[in-house]
């Protein structure tokens, strides 16, 4: 059927075509039906919404989040035939094993936004409840890589990656320059925070431009040895972002999707050696050692099969890493560490250990000796020097030392009500407070953890300091801090809880 076309700027979360209710009946389609809109030179799938009076007969209004140019005043509309990908999703729901073809059609349709929210949600849910085996994860990785941009290097490249879940996890700002100053090539891309207070890219953005194109990344890695950029500025594995939009409201992060999301991006950026940090703790993604080991072994097994040499470090994630949470304050803590100033031991130790593992994997140091080399490189200022080479190559924001960083001018100290020892800090609640303060969008918002688990605290001593650019947000955060459990204090230390457990290395898979 032929329709006169109009555009609307409504953003509804899918390509929507508004039809008159009688035209829809004549076409044999209903609300949410998939239709093909034929623009002459090309077709596109839209989802039907209806109206009796606001859309005239023989008229269609399409949403403008559909960005293609429209030349013609008229379009042809017909019901869309069933999608192969929907059949594949259904077979997964019924517990069947999917093949490369299935993932090709699923990822293509996710990329093209041809799936309804019902279908996409069902797919993501089945990834959690039915799961994928190793073969299927590899098919999924292949498809995610093939439907996105790639960066090729003429030499071997290295990467470190954390699966996340721990606030303050800014170690890459230390680890990457250590590795690069020792000659490793590290084109590190990071994410911005979705549910956390600051992603590595948010922290780095306080100091440098992080929106780099593939060619720019390649050039900087050629010249300087490393980048610390935002993965979202290159179009690698674009299906991932569309899947995250469904995972987030459900609050799930299925393991097969987590693995293929990480590895497809590494394959697309030609990474050859990869160290994966798996933080383990009550309020992280991995809650016990068995799950952490099983995830690590899965990463390694699959990596082996697709030509990626992977090692995993299971790290302690039971409290924030370091003491800073929020983009600017984390950047400040990282700079202090690079400058050799007094800072949190857990943060330094983790940054060095991850660097050490990578140095050992790459053969730059013998097994067991990486930590000394990494520590020297931090102490002798070479890491700091390399870090600013990276910052300048990406485009500096003008900050040259930790004291230059501005934090929110409105502050509030949360004081202890008792004498005792900190026995618990809630990752989740600390993040919630930081987000209420405005992190990650307001860079200056954040908090400082004066007292960490095992620390002695006296009545009226500060446990946390909140930073805000804005009085209302500070008051809101203070009100929330009275309602939720941020930490626990016990009268005496039952057991000496170390600040960080030694990372566990997993480099062999026992089957």
Q: Are 236 and 270 in contact (CB under 8 A)?
A: no
Tell me whether residue 341 or residue 441 sits nearer to a second copy (CB atom): 441
CA distance 419 to 405: 33
Q: Catalytic residue among 253, 288, 376, 404, which?
A: 253
Say whether residue 480 binds a second copy (CB under 8 A): no
By CB under 8 A, name the one of 76, 116, 270, 287 that touches a second copy.
116
Tell me whether residue 484 or residue 509 sits nearer to a second copy (CB atom): 484
Q: Are 270 and 152 in contact (CB under 8 A)?
A: yes
Say whether residue 1 binds a second copy (CB under 8 A): no
Q: Are 314 and 503 in contact (CB under 8 A)?
A: yes
Q: How far is CA 137 from CA 96, 142, 295, in A?
A: 14, 9, 13
Residue 211's SS3 state is: coil
Q: b/e for 335-370, b at 16 or more Cβ within 10 A?
A: bbbbeeeebbebbbbbbbbbbbbbbbbbebbeeeeb
Structure tokens of 489? 């204090």
**Quick one: which of 319, 321, 318 has its CA closest to 281?**
318
Say whether residue 421 binds a second copy (CB under 8 A): no
Contact segment (CB under 8 A) with a second copy among 92-100, 184-192, 344-352, 444-452 equals 92-100
Q: Rounded to the nearest whole angstrom, what is the least distance from the CB of residue 123 to a second copy in the complex?
A: 9
Interacting positions 14-43 with a second copy (CB under 8 A) = 16, 18, 21, 31-32
Residue 213's SS3 state is: coil
By CB under 8 A, name the one of 5, 70, 130, 348 that touches a second copy.
130
Mask of contacts with a second copy, 283-322, x by CB under 8 A? ----------------------------------------
Tell me whether residue 42 or residue 94 sits nearer to a second copy (CB atom): 94
Interacting positions 210-249 with a second copy (CB under 8 A) = 246, 249
Say whether residue 86 binds a second copy (CB under 8 A): yes
Neighbours of 406 (CB within 10 A): 13
By CB under 8 A, name the one of 43, 128, 211, 287 that touches a second copy.
128
Q: Kindly report the backbone phi and psi dihedral angles of residue 395, in degrees, each rounded to the nearest multiple of 5, phi listed first.
A: 115, 100
By CB under 8 A, name the one of 17, 89, 414, 464 that touches a second copy.
89
Count of residues interacting with a second copy (CB under 8 A): 41
- 448 conformational bin, left if phi > 0, alpha if psi -120 to 50, beta if neither: beta
Residue 455's SS3 state is: coil
Tell me whether residue 86 or residue 378 sits nearer to a second copy (CB atom): 86
- Return the residue matching tokens 């590899």: 138
By CB under 8 A, name the one of 41, 71, 81, 94 that touches a second copy.
94
Contact segment (CB under 8 A) with a second copy among 2-10, 138-146, 190-198, 213-221 equals 2-10
Q: Are 438 and 473 in contact (CB under 8 A)?
A: yes
Tell me whether residue 131 or residue 462 sits nearer to a second copy (CB atom): 131
Q: Are 15 and 46 in contact (CB under 8 A)?
A: yes
- Nearest 5°: the CA angle 339, 196, 15 is 130
Tell me whether residue 302 or residue 436 sits nearer to a second copy (CB atom): 436
By CB under 8 A, name the one of 43, 117, 195, 209 that touches a second copy.
117
Residues 6+ away with beta carbon under 8 Å from 39? 68, 70, 71, 72, 75
By CB under 8 A, name the one of 57, 99, 129, 304 that touches a second copy.
129
Residue 476 C-alpha from the chain's centroid: 27
Tell me whether residue 254 or residue 322 sits nearer to a second copy (CB atom): 254
Q: What is the dihedral of CA 7, 10, 12, 14, to 10 degrees?
A: 30
Q: Rounded to the nearest whole angstrom, what is the least distance from the CB of residue 252 to a second copy in the complex?
A: 6
Say whether residue 120 binds a second copy (CB under 8 A): yes
3-state secondary structure 395-430: CECCCCCHHHCCCCCEEEEEECCCCEEEEEECHHHH
Mask of contacts with a second copy, 46-75, x by CB under 8 A? ---xxxxxx---------------------
Q: Are 274 and 162 in contact (CB under 8 A)?
A: no
Q: Is 253 one of the catalytic residues? A: yes
Q: Rounded to the nearest whole angstrom, what is the least distance from the CB of residue 237 to a second copy in the complex?
A: 21
Tell me whether residue 67 or residue 342 sits nearer to a second copy (CB atom): 67
Tell me whether residue 129 or residue 488 sits nearer to a second copy (CB atom): 129
By CB under 8 A, name the one of 43, 121, 211, 470 that touches a second copy.
121
Tell me whether residue 118 or residue 509 sits nearer to a second copy (CB atom): 118
- Nearest 5°: the CA angle 296, 301, 302 is 100
Say whether residue 114 binds a second copy (CB under 8 A): no
Say whether residue 118 binds a second copy (CB under 8 A): yes
By CB under 8 A, name the one of 44, 85, 111, 126 that touches a second copy.
126
Q: Are 321 and 350 in contact (CB under 8 A)?
A: yes
- Give every strand in the sheet of 271-280, ordered side by side: 157-162, 271-280, 309-316, 504-506
Q: Rounded to the nearest whole angstrom, what is the least distance from the CB of residue 117 to a second copy in the complex?
A: 4
Q: Are 50 and 19 in contact (CB under 8 A)?
A: yes
Q: Rounded to the nearest whole angstrom, what is the least distance from the CB of residue 408 to a second copy in the complex?
A: 18
By CB under 8 A, name the one of 119, 159, 277, 444 that touches a second copy.
119
Binding site for a second copy (CB under 8 A): 8-13, 16, 18, 21, 31-32, 49-54, 86, 89-90, 93-95, 116-122, 124-126, 128-130, 246, 249-252
Q: Which residues are catalytic?
A: 253
């Amino acid at each position: 059927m032929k329709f006169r076309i109009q555009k609307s700027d409504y953003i509804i979360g899918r390509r929507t075509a508004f039809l008159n209710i009688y035209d829809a009946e004549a076409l044999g389609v209903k609300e949410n039906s998939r239709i093909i809109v034929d623009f002459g030179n090309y077709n596109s799938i839209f989802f039907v919404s209806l109206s009796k009076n606001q859309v005239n007969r023989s008229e269609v209004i399409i949403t403008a989040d559909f960005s293609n140019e429209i030349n013609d005043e008229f379009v042809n509309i017909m019901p869309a035939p069933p999608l192969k990908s929907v059949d594949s999703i259904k077979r997964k729901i019924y517990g069947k094993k999917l093949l490369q073809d299935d993932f090709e059609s699923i990822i293509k349709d996710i990329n093209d936004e041809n799936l309804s929210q019902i279908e996409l949600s069902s797919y993501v849910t089945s990834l959690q409840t039915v799961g994928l085996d190793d073969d299927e994860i590899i098919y999924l990785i292949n498809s995610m890589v093939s439907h996105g941009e790639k960066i090729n290097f003429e030499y071997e490249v290295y990467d470190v990656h954390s699966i996340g879940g721990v606030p303050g996890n800014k170690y890459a700002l230390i680890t990457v320059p250590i590795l690069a100053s020792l000659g490793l090539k590290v084109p590190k891309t990071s994410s911005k925070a979705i549910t956390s207070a600051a992603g590595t890219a948010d922290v780095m953005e306080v100091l440098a431009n992080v929106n780099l194109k593939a060619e720019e990344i390649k050039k900087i890695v050629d010249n300087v040895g490393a980048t610390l950029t935002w993965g979202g500025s290159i179009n690698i594995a674009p299906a991932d972002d569309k899947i995250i939009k469904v995972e987030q409201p459900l609050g799930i992060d299925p393991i097969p999707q987590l693995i293929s999301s990480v590895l497809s991006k590494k394959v697309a950026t030609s990474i050859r050696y990869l160290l994966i940090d798996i933080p383990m703790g009550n309020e992280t993604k991995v809650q016990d050692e068995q799950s952490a080991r099983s995830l690590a072994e899965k990463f390694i097994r699959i990596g082996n099969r697709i030509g990626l040499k992977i090692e995993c470090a299971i790290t302690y994630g039971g409290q924030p890493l370091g003491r800073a949470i929020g983009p600017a304050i984390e950047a400040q803590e990282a700079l202090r560490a690079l400058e050799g100033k007094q800072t949190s031991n857990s943060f330094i130790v983790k940054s060095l250990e991850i660097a050490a593992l990578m140095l050992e994997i790459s053969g730059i140091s013998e097994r067991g000796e990486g930590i000394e080399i990494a520590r020297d490189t931090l102490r002798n200022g070479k890491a700091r020097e390399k870090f600013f080479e990276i910052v300048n190559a990406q485009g500096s924001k003008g900050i040259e030392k930790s004291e230059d960083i501005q934090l929110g001018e409105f502050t509030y100290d949360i004081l202890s009500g008792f004498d005792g020892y900190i026995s618990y800090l809630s990752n989740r609640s600390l993040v919630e407070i930081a987000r209420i303060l405005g992190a990650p969008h307001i860079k200056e918002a954040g908090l400082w953890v004066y007292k960490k688990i095992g620390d002695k605290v006296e009545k009226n001593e500060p446990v946390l300091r909140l930073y805000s650019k804005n009085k209302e947000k500070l008051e809101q955060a203070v009100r929330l801090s009275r309602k939720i459990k941020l930490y626990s204090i016990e009268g005496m230390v039952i057991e000496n809880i170390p600040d960080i457990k030694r990372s566990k290395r997993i480099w062999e898979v026992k089957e």
